[in-house]
């Protein structure tokens, strides 16, 4: 349970994003994308390393550390096999106990299977089911905060160019993302601010269908020529979402996806 009002409010936003993105991933509706917005998107893809390079990435190692008003309220460590769908999530200790969840993304979507461990002991029954549900939700949510700019062309995502506006010391192209009739919260709307100089999305604002609003600044790191988020700072400067030491990797020992004792911290 989050310990402060701001933390709870941001957690609700995260859950809304999870619901939306899960629905988008299941939808097949053709998107509406105006030419200027597509032009901005294509320039952004090139600045981030190129779509072909991103598609060829095998493994990604990253964290999701959400801090609100100086308190860490979520601390996840991820290892993502983008080619074969294997996933490892290590979650913040609960009562001094660290939780490890191993699953296959496609397999989970089909049959909800995987393995969950607390202090090395395998969970069974409802406890395992709950752990897997939460881990899959973290995968959907946390990879969105890691790689949202790479996801603009997902099925059902509509892109609309709004305007060029001042941002920071430069100018940004503002693109609106909406989601048509997909997801559990299709009324959500995002405004992405893409720097005309760097062609990276430096800021986003959202208005959720229930009226809640927010905005975050984005910072990036480059690994193997690929740009991914390294940190996010809320508009009120009270919260951060830090992605840790983000790394793109060509190879990883298979044991990381099968052995709960093989901790991500030991990955070189």
Higher pLDDT, 185 or 224: 224
Number of C-beta neighbours around residue 97 at 10 A: 12
Phi-psi region of 70 (alpha: psi -120 to 50; beta: other; left: phi over 0): left
Number of domains, the chain = 1
Confidence of residue 95 (pLDDT cuts 50, 70, 90): confident
pLDDT in tens, 31-44: 688 999 999 999 99
What residues have CB less than 8 Å from 169, skipping those under 6 apart?
none
pLDDT in tens, 36-85: 999 999 999 999 999 999 999 999 999 999 999 999 999 999 999 999 99
Q: Could you tell me the pTM of the whole model? A: 0.86
Q: Which two tokens stand for residue 103?
A: 């699953």
pLDDT in tens, 131-176: 999 999 899 889 989 999 998 988 788 999 999 999 988 999 999 9
CA distances to 41, 189, 264 from 62, in Å: 24, 26, 10
Range of the domain at 67: 5-266
Can you give the CATH number for the domain in which 81 is found?
A: 2.50.20
Would you say 133 and 121 are in contact if contact means Cβ atoms under 8 Å apart?
A: no
């Amino acid at each position: 349970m989050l310990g402060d009002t701001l933390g709870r409010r941001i957690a609700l936003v995260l859950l809304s994003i999870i619901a939306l993105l899960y629905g988008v991933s299941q939808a097949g509706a053709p998107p509406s994308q105006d030419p200027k917005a597509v032009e901005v998107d294509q320039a952004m893809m090139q600045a981030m390393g190129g779509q072909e390079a991103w598609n060829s990435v095998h493994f990604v190692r990253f964290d999701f550390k959400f801090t609100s008003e100086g308190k860490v309220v979520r601390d996840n460590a991820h290892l993502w096999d983008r080619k074969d769908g294997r996933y490892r999530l290590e979650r913040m200790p609960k009562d001094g106990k660290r939780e490890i969840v191993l699953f296959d993304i496609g397999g989970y979507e089909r049959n909800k299977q995987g393995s969950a461990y607390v202090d090395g002991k395998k969970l069974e029954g409802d406890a395992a089911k709950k752990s897997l549900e939460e881990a899959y939700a973290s995968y959907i949510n946390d990879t969105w905060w890691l790689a949202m700019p790479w996801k603009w062309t997902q099925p059902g995502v509509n892109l609309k160019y709004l305007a060029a506006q001042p941002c920071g010391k430069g100018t940004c192209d503002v693109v609106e993302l909406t989601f048509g009739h997909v997801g559990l919260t299709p009324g959500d709307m995002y405004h992405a601010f893409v720097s005309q100089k760097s062609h990276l999305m430096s800021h986003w604002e959202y208005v959720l269908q229930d009226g809640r609003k927010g905005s975050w600044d984005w910072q990036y790191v480059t690994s193997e020529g690929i740009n991914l988020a390294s940190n996010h700072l809320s508009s009120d400067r009270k919260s951060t979402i830090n992605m840790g030491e983000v790394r793109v990797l060509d190879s990883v020992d298979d044991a990381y996806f099968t052995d709960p004792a093989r901790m991500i911290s030991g990955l070189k």
